[in-house]
């Protein structure tokens, strides 16, 4: 049986990895396993922007994926961006095995506010479910409470609930039930 792998890029608190482990185990029918942390690849830091290149981080995550990977999720404290956008909360291959989530902008400290563990835990869970949803072929949902709705700022992440709507959830379950995870 394949597995869903979790891998930290750079240093990530083990407590956060435990939260992610629990939420993925709750939603996915595959065993969840952890890989040893990766160091940031040399070419992944954009000195001009002071941010990490999301595409390079995803490539590094893909490179370390074991044979039996069903999905692999990278987790990093680095602030991620792509050339056209100032930042991304995370990124995924639509219908592909690799996804990555950044904790940087999910932390209250990023916005100059005191640390808030409860808020961070909720946001991490939502982003993980969101990016994993993409890897199983789900696109953004018009239902603003659905975890698959598009969040372009932290307020929209907070506005979502930690669940898929009936339509997205149904699509996901049908996807899990299909042989070899083929799209239904």
Partner 1 sequence: MKKVWPILVVDDEEVMSESMAAWLREDGYRVDTAANGQAAVELAKATDYAISFIDLKMPGGMDGIETMMEMRRLRPEASIIIITAYATVDTAIQAMKEGAQEYIVKPCHPQEISMLVSRILKLKKLQSENVILRKKISRKYRHHDIITKNPRMEEILALTQDIASLRSTVLICGESGTGKELVARAIHYSGARADKPFVSVSCAALTETLLESELFGHEKGSFTGAEGQTKGKFELADGGTIFLDEIGDISPKLQADLLRVLQEKRFYRVGGTDEVSVDVRVIAATNRNLPEEVKEGRFRDDLYYRLNVIEIKIPPLRERREDIPLLAEHFVQRIASELGKEVAGISGDALKVLIAYDWPGNVRELENVIERAIVTSRNGTLVDSDFTWLTQRNPAGQDWDVPDVPLSELERRAIIAVLERKRGNVKEAAASLGIDRSTLYDKLKRYEIMH
**Which residues participate in catalysis according to the annotation?**
131
Q: Which two tokens stand for residue 26?
A: 């709750």
Q: How far is the CB of 50 from partner 1 (least distance, A)?
A: 12
> How many angstroms separate the CA atoms of 14 and 76, rounded?
12
Give the residue with the Cβ less far from partner 1, 49 or 145: 49
CB 154 within 8 A of CB 106: yes
Applying CB under 8 A, the residues found at the interface with partner 1 are 49, 53-55, 81-88, 91-94, 134, 139-140, 150, 152-153
> How many angstroms separate the CA atoms of 140 and 25, rounded?
23
Q: Is 86 exposed, middle or buried (0-12, 13-18, 19+ CB in 10 A)?
A: exposed
Give the residue with the Cβ less far from partner 1, 2 or 104: 104
Q: How far is the CB of 114 from partner 1 (least distance, A)?
A: 25
- The 3-state DSSP class for residue 5 equals strand
Give the residue with the Cβ less far from partner 1, 21 or 143: 143
């Amino acid at each position: 049986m394949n597995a869903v792998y979790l891998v930290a890029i750079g240093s990530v608190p083990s407590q956060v990895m435990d939260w992610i482990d629990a939420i993925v185990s709750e939603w996915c029918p595959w065993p969840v396993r952890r890989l040893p942390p990766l160091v940031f690849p040399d070419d992944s830091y954009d000195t001009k922007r002071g941010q990490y290149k999301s595409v390079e981080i995803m490539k590094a995550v893909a490179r370390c994926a074991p044979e039996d990977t069903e999905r692999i999720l990278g987790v990093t404290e680095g602030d991620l961006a792509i050339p056209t956008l100032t930042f991304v909360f995370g990124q995924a291959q639509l219908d592909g095995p690799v996804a990555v989530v950044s904790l940087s902008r999910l932390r209250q400290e990023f916005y100059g506010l005191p640390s808030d563990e409860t808020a961070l835990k909720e946001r991490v869970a939502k982003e993980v479910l969101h990016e994993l949803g993409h890897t199983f072929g789900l696109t953004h949902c018009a239902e603003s409470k659905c975890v698959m709705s598009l969040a372009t700022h932290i307020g929209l992440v907070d506005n979502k609930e930690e669940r898929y709507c009936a339509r997205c959830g149904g699509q996901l379950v049908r996807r899990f039930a299909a042989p070899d995870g083929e799209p239904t």
